[in-house]
């Protein structure tokens, strides 16, 4: 078994110092492995694939908070809308419209983070700072009653260059602080940044939510 409960404990005690929340990223891991982490007392999990998330939701205890952190296609929103706790990877107004529509059908407000593109790699999804501002200021968003934008998510470049990672996280923190000041909505309170390789840097730069997979569940194959 590859689940490392000792590592989980170490990470949780580190996070405590920063008042940060752990999302245990369980993509490609079995329900049995997730159950081991759940039995250790952890209830927040992140998944990247809609169908996989749905199956795990059905198989596992209902007090788990499921975060969707992968690229989300509009035609699949309806599958997760009834139960998802937070969609961290919203990268367009079109997607927000769909989430709002499905939220309305399910009679719930769906919490969302805007995913911001801070890495230099082209492969990473997300909005630029300018695009995010346009979305946040749009009249359309204002009218979406079944959406709550509770913060931002970002991924740094995949690099050994710690200074570069640090700079990218710093830029997102600055943007987050500026928005928080402008928006003045107490629900805008999550800054999700940091994964296994870079969460320590992210915490130093002001992250209050980290998404950690392989350190807890072992390498993905």
Ligand X SMILES: *Cc1c(COP(=O)(O)O)cnc(C)c1O
Within 45-64, the residues that bind ligand X by CB under 6 A are: 48
The reply to whether 117 sits near ligand X by the rule CB under 6 A is: no
Instruction: For residue 50, report the phi and psi dihedrals to the nearest 5 degrees.
Output: -60, -50
- For the bound state, the minimum distance from the C-beta of residue 85 to ligand X, rounded and expressed in Å, comes to 16
Q: Angle at CA 41, nearest 5°, toward 40 and 42?
A: 105
Closest separation in Å from C-beta 2 to ligand X: 12
Q: Which stretch binds ligand X (CB under 6 A): 132-140, 142-150, 172-180, 205-213?
A: 205-213
With CB atoms as reference, the residue minimizing the distance to ligand X is 213
Whether residue 99 contacts residue 84, with contact meaning beta carbons closer than 8 Å, is answered with no
Closest CB to ligand X among residues 144, 151: 151
| Distance separating alpha carbons of residues 155 and 198, to the nearest angstrom | 9
**Least Å from the CB of residue 79 to ligand X:** 18
DSSP 190: E
Stretch that binds ligand X, among 93-101, 102-110, 161-169, 195-203 (CB under 6 A): 195-203
Number of chain positions touching ligand X (CB under 6 A)? 13
Least distance (Å) from ligand X to the CB of residue 105? 26
| 48-55: long-range contacts, CB 8 A cutoff, minimum separation 24 | 50/76, 50/79, 50/80, 51/79, 52/27, 52/28, 53/80, 53/84, 54/79, 54/80, 55/31
Task: Quote the CA–CA distance of 85 and 112 in Å, as a whole number.
Answer: 9
Write out the binding residues for ligand X, residues 150-179 only, by CB under 6 A: 155
User: Per rule CB under 6 A, is residue 211 in the interface with ligand X?
Assistant: yes
Residues between 8 and 37 with contacts to ligand X, criterion CB under 6 A: 25, 27
Q: Out of 22, 34, 53, 69, which residue is the one contacting ligand X (CB under 6 A)?
A: 69
Tokens matching residue 150: 């509770």
Number of helices (H), then strands (E), belonging to the chain: the values are 10, 8
The answer to the question of residue 195 lying near ligand X (CB under 6 A) is: yes
Q: Name, in order, each residue with C-beta under 8 angstroms of 164's C-beta and a sequence gap of 6 or more.
A: 156, 157
Least distance to ligand X from the beta carbon of 48, Å?
A: 5
Binding site for ligand X (CB under 6 A): 25, 27, 48, 69-70, 155, 195-197, 211-214
């Amino acid at each position: 078994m590859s689940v490392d409960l000792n590592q989980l404990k170490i990470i949780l005690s580190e996070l405590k110092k920063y008042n940060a929340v752990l999302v245990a990223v369980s993509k490609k891991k079995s329900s049995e492995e997730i159950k081991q982490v759940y039995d250790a007392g952890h209830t927040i999990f992140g998944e990247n694939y809609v169908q996989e998330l749905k199956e795990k939701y059905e198989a596992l205890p209902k007090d788990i908070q499921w975060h969707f952190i992968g690229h989300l296609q509009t035609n699949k929103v309806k599958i997760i809308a009834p139960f998802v706790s937070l969609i961290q990877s919203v990268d367009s107004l079109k997607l927000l419209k769909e989430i709002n529509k499905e939220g309305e059908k399910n009679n719930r407000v769906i919490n969302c983070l805007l995913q911001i593109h801070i890495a230099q790699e082209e492969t990473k999804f997300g909005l630029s700072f300018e695009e995010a501002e346009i979305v946040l200021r749009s009249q359309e968003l204002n009218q979406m009653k079944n959406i709550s934008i509770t913060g931002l998510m970002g991924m740094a470049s995949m690099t050994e260059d710690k200074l570069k990672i640090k700079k990218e996280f710093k830029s997102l923190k600055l943007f987050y602080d500026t928005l928080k000041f402008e928006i003045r909505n107490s629900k805008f309170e999550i800054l999700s940044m940091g994964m296994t390789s870079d969460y320590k840097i992210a915490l130093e730069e002001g992250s209050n939510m980290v998404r950690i997979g392989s350190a807890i569940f072992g390498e993905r194959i």
